[in-house]
Chains A and B, each alone.
Chain A
Amino acid sequence: QSALTQPASVSGSPGQSITISCTGTSSDVGGYNHVAWYQQHPGKAPKLMIYDVTNRPSGVSNRFSGSKSGNTASLTISGLQADDEADYHCSSYTSISTPLYVFGSGTTVTVL
């Protein structure tokens, strides 16, 4: 059982916006601004899309945005494109004990 809760699947049509939630506790998501989001295509390693809740690494499209409210973080993908179809994982740093990093179970995004 994963430490962070994500919906199993989210879908949307091309051009639409979708939002994926990631719910933790005050010991992880709610306690630190170290939430990250990863995109993973089949057979590939995860790719960092958002770090420190809201920031995009160089080269990541500005269609991807992150936010956080309380113990829940969110990833929004706007202008949905076919290549956005992938699994998305959230993670959070936590120092309450080890593991130091906890992940969600992943969300499959389907572009209809």
Chain B
Amino acid sequence: QVQLQQWGAGLLKPSETLSLSCAVYGGSFNGYFWSWIRQPPGKGLEWIGEINHDGRTNYNASLKSRVTISRDTSKNQVSLRLNSVIAADTAMYYCARGYCTSSSCKGGFGYWGQGSLVTVSS
């Protein structure tokens, strides 16, 4: 059973750097794309980006200049960094993995971390 456990700083000031990590337990780390998704309070979900075991990344164009997703395959961990945060970055942040069939992992996110609330306030 795949489990994702997240941690990281919850209260930031504007211009600081958001840093979150996500450890994967109970399943294979390699061979999958690992995504970060966020949800501002009372709003919908927004895909931030993804990384695969080869380190190949894809980012949401709206955040690309500020975001870095990395991985440590020796620890089965994925990390998110978001630079120069502003109040609009206040959100619950989730790490997630696609639900994979024999043909694709693009059909939906089947595994989610517990979420990390990040608040940006001066």
* Complex interface: stretch among B21-29, B78-86, B103-111: B103-111
Nearest A-chain residue to B46, judged by Cβ: A103
Q: Are A36 and B109 in contact (CB under 8 A)?
A: yes
Interfacial residues of chain A within 1-57, with CB under 8 A of chain B in the complex: 2, 32-38, 45-48, 50-52, 55, 57
What is the predominant secondary structure among interface residues of chain B facing chain A? Answer: loop
Partner of A98, one of B59, B106, B113: B59
Interface residue range, chain A: 20 to 34
Q: Are A34 and B107 in contact (CB under 8 A)?
A: yes
Whether A105 sits at the interface, judged by CB under 8 Å, is: yes
Partner of A45, one of B60, B99, B106, B112: B112
Q: Are B50 and A100 in contact (CB under 8 A)?
A: yes
Chain B contributes a number of interface residues (CB within 8 A of A) equal to 27
Report how far A106 CA is from B44 CA in the complex, Å: 6
Report how far A91 CA is from B62 CA in the complex, Å: 18
Report how far A97 CA is from B62 CA in the complex, Å: 11
Q: Mark B70-102, 1 if CB is under 8 A from A, else 0.
A: 000000000000000000000000100001010
Residues of B within 8 A of A106 (CB): 43-45
* Contact surface of A with B, Cβ cutoff 8 Å: 2, 32-38, 45-48, 50-52, 55, 57, 89, 91, 93, 97-106
